[in-house]
Amino acid sequence: MSSRKKILNAIRGISREEKPLPSLPDYGVSGNLEEAFSQSILGNKGEILTTLELEAWIKEQRFEKVIALAAGFEQYSNFETPSDPHELDDLNLAILEGQFGVAENGAIWLDDSQLKHRVLPFITEHLVLILEKKNLYPTLHQAYQKIGNEFSGFGLFVAGPSKTADIEQSLVIGAHGAKSLRVVLI
Amino acid sequence: MSHPQAASEFLKDQAKAKWHDETLWFVRDKRDRISKSIPEWEDLRNLASEIKDNVLSNLENYLVEFEKNALKNGIHIHWAKDAEEHNQIVLGILQKQKCTAIVKSKSILTEECHLNPYLEKNGIEVVDTDLGERIVQFLNQPPSHIVLPAIHLKKGEISELFHEKLATEKGNEDPAYLTNAARLHLREKFLGAKVAITGVNFGVAETGEFVVCTNEGNADMGVHLADVHIACMGIEKLIPRRADLGVFLRLLARSATGQPVTNYNSHFRSPSPGKEIHIVLLDNGRTAQLAREKFRNSLKCIRCGACMNTCPIYRRSGGYSYGSTVPGPIGSILSPGLDMKKHSTLPFASTLCGSCTDVCPVKINIHEQLYEWRQEITKTHGELGKSLSMKLASALFKSPLAYKISGNVMRSALKNLPKSLIYHPINSWGKGRNLPETPSESFKAWYQKNRS
């Protein structure tokens, strides 16, 4: 007998009381969504920038390799996205569009349609996400309602820069992924 | 080694044991503060518990639904009845890919299966990529905590280790410096690996997708650069609906580390063009636990580690004292189901204070199950020493005269007998405990003198 059959048969052989699946209420957050979202991003060690602040920061940094896929920010691109994602290893900055954000925790949703390579938001040294203010939701409950069962091969909630506290619980930003996250609300 | 023996090893370094206790309490405190900022926190715990109850009552149907949807999305599904079959399946995929080096992100399940030594024996280099896991891998140790794998180590020890393994500056203990050294070292490994292995936090039956949560981004760095992604998943990890993720992701990170959500929450539904995703569904004792009605709901666990951080025994005895892949209170109710003899002391490594149950995001009645396991274990492997003293005590408490006489005898005996006799090795309670000062008379004698 295959292990599949063995496992399923073993489970079927266990008598259990039927337990109903609860319906999910629609919890919200009180107060201003933009304010709550910004606080969450700061708490996750990210930053909130205006378009002008972003422009000044990029000018000052003089990055060698920038990929900007977000609509209206393509002018910052100076590097053609390679077909092999391994060549993104020395990418300094990726500017991508977030579909929507979650006020309670700062999570921003991206899927294959925003990413030429799935590794892009992780391998880049710095990550900038552009998010429209009208696309903010109170909690993850509304966020998953919004996603619905829309199909994407890969989807990601990103809420901050790569971080670790594995050495004596000291917070260090920039473990393996992006060393910073900047969010521009437009 | 029994839990008390291993715990006394840990307690030899008192300063470190104190630091361990305080640090985990700090994490527990962060969990408390953030949970109180969510008015519906208790409702979420109830919902999570009910959703998991529903999953366990229909597990066979959800597994079939999950498989059907994942196959439709181009994911390969494998079933493993035990650790051995799990490891063979993984090795088979690697051999087909002619792969000799892999990167792996944190997965308690592959620890449970002892996948690393198995692959290494078969000529595969395994690199754990979570910083804490890489540290303990360098030391040839398992993780001592399921969320904070290297919590038993101090930065001085990690600095020395990295000096030896990664040629960092001798004596430089700066966590940022050490983390950056690991970043550079592991970046090379990510860029070179053809196959990446991850665990699974949640599998969604209605879509066939699975979710992996990290703060470091190591799981994603591995899988998106590799050609093949192998996700190793316990059969109990399923949830019915995508929307249920809203409940579980709100609870998981808040319970684990006191942060509102993990920084990376990746949803894998189908492979990138030209790449492969494999899911290995593992039983390894889970169906046996499902059949044990009293212990069934231990399978609801989402591996947040909150019960460890809050446990007064775990904090003061360290993860290794449990000698099981999952330590702490939840480990003490899961592990006896796998090997009751080996883990017979674990359900006793608890004060039954119930704090584990209070913080559990899926409301597992951990302390009640610890008590239940004690009954099972004492039936099978009774402890002679303690049962003898319990019988003696029972006889004394039954007879008022015997109780009165023994009280008088003990008050004078404890004052006058030499310490070597009172703290004799036969008296296991005397280890690590001091008896209170003995009063000169019984409460009854005092009351008669003062109040009558």
Residue B26: list chain A partners with CB under 8 A.
Answer: 169
pLDDT at B381: 73
Give me the pLDDT at residue B379, please.
86
Give the residue on A whose Cα is nearest the Cα of B264.
A158
DSSP line for B340-408 = TTTTTTGGGS-----HHHHH-TT---HHHHHHHHHHHHHHHS--HHHHHHHHHHHHHHH-HHHHHHHHH
Task: Let me know if B293 is exposed, middle or buried by CB neighbors in 10 A (0-12, 13-18, 19+).
Answer: exposed
Over 70: is that where the pLDDT of B373 sits?
yes
Q: pTM score > 0.90 for this model?
A: yes
Is B217 in contact with A149 (Cβ distance < 8 A)? no
Q: Tell whether B343 is covered by a domain.
A: yes
Q: Quick one: B343 and B393 in the same domain? A: no
Cβ-based neighbour number of residue B5 at 10 Å? 11
Mean pLDDT within B139-146: 94
ipTM of the complex as predicted: 0.97
The answer to whether the Cβ–Cβ distance between B261 and A105 falls below 8 Å is: yes
Range of the domain at B400: 389-451
Instruction: Please state the domain extents for chain A.
Output: 32-185
Cβ-defined contact of A160 to B263 (cutoff 8 Å): yes
Tell me what pLDDT residue B387 has.
67
Which chain A residues are closer than 8 Å to B268 by Cβ?
153-154
Residue B30 is encoded by which pair of tokens?
A: 């962060």
B33 and B46 inside one domain: no
Least confident of A139-143, B112-116, B136-140, B445-449: B445-449
| Minimum Cα–Cα distance from A173: chain B residue | B176
Regarding whether B243 and B102 lie in a shared domain, the answer is: yes
Considering CB atoms only, which of A4, A141, A159 is closest to B263? A159
Q: Is B424 helix (H, G, I), strand (E, B) or coil?
A: coil
Total beta-carbon pairs less than 8 A apart between chain A and chain B: 236
- pLDDT grade, residue B68 (50/70/90)? very high
- For residues B220 and B328, state if they share a domain: no
- Tens digit of pLDDT for each residue in B243-258? 999 999 999 999 999 9
pLDDT in tens, B172-222: 999 999 999 999 999 999 999 999 999 999 999 999 999 999 999 999 999
Contact state of B51 with A119 under an 8 Å Cβ cutoff: no
CA A70, CA A67: separation in Å to the nearest integer?
Answer: 9
Share of chain B above pLDDT 90, in %: 83
Residue B441 burial (10 A CB sphere; 0-12, 13-18, 19+) = middle
Q: The domain A32-185: what is its CATH number?
A: 3.40.50.10420
Q: Which helix (H) or strand (E) holds B279?
A: strand B276-282
Task: Tell me what pLDDT residue B322 has.
Answer: 95
Contact B216 A140 (CB under 8 A): no
Using CB atoms, pick whichever of A18, A117, A143 lies closest to residue B224. Answer: A117
Give a yes or no: residue B98 inside a domain: yes
Q: Which of A7, A143, A167 sits opposite B179 (nearest CB)?
A: A167
Return d(Cα B436, Cα A98) in angstroms, integer.
Answer: 64
Same domain, B87 and B10: no
Contact A164 B43 (CB under 8 A): no
Residue A125: burial class (beta carbons within 10 Å; 0-12, 13-18, 19+): middle
Distances (CA, A) of A16 to A13, A47, B17, B146, B292: 9, 50, 43, 30, 11
B53 neighbors A22 (Cβ within 8 angstroms): no
Among A3, A27, A176, whose Cβ lies nearest the Cβ of B79?
Answer: A3
| Same domain? B55 vs B32 | no
Q: Cβ A175–B57 below 8 Å, yes or no?
A: no
With 70 as the cut, is the pLDDT of residue A37 above it?
yes
B299: in domain: no
CB contact under 8 Å between A86 and B245, yes or no, is no
Distance in Å, alpha carbon of B39 to nearest chain A alpha carbon:
9
Beta carbons of B242 and A147 less than 8 Å apart? yes
Both B8 and B24 in a single domain?
yes
Residues B18 and B167 in one domain: no
When CB atoms are compared, the residue of B179, B180, B265 closest to A107 is B265
B115: confidence class by pLDDT, cuts 50, 70, 90: very high
Residue B435, pLDDT above cutoff 90: no
What's the pLDDT band for B105 if we cut at 50, 70, 90? very high
Distance CA A118, CA B115 (A): 27
Residue B441 included in any domain: yes
Residue B361: inside a domain: no
Tell me the pLDDT tens digit for each residue of A115-126. Answer: 999 999 999 999
The mean pLDDT of B426-444, rounded to a whole number, is: 77
Closest by alpha carbon to B38, among A181, A6, A79, A27?
Answer: A27
B374-429: per-residue pLDDT in tens? Answer: 999 988 876 555 667 777 778 878 888 888 888 888 787 777 777 776 677 667 66
Q: Give domain status of residue B20, yes or no.
A: yes
Q: What is the pLDDT of residues B36-67, one digit of tens each?
A: 999 999 999 999 999 999 999 999 999 999 99
Q: Which of B152, B169, B149 has the alpha carbon at shortest distance from B160? A: B169
Q: Where are the beta strands (DSSP E) in chain A?
A: 47-49, 66-68, 93-97, 100-102, 108-111, 126-131, 136-137, 154-158, 163-164, 172-173, 180-185
User: With an 8 Å Cβ cutoff, are A163 and B244 in contact?
Assistant: no
Radius of gyration of chain A (CA): 20
CA distance B282 to chain A (A): 9
Per-residue pLDDT of A67-104, as tens digits, reads: 999 999 999 999 899 999 999 999 999 999 999 999 99
| Gap between the Cα atoms of B316 and B156, Å rounded | 21
**Domain count along chain B:** 3
B247 CB neighbours in chain A (<8 A) are: 24, 141
CB contact under 8 A, A19 and B54: yes
Which member of B187, B216, B271 has the closest CB to residue A164?
A: B216
| Inter-chain CB proximity B131 and A167 less than 8 Å | yes
Closest Cα of chain B to A74: distance in Å? 24
- Nearest chain A CA: its distance from B312 CA (Å): 19
Residue A29: pLDDT band (50, 70, 90) is: confident
Q: What is the CATH number of the domain that holds B193?
A: 3.40.50.10420
The sign one gets for the Cα dihedral B415, B419, B422, B428 is positive
Does residue B296 lie in a domain region? no
Among B179, B277, B279, B309, the strongest candidate for a mutation testing the A interface, having the largest count of A CBs within 10 A, is B179
Name the residue among A89, A104, A161 with its Cβ closest to that of B263: A161
Its sign, for the CA torsion B188, B194, B199, B203, is positive
Which is higher by pLDDT, B379 or B242? B242
Q: What is the pLDDT of residues B2-27, one digit of tens each?
A: 999 999 999 999 999 999 999 999 99
Write down the pLDDT at residue B418: 72
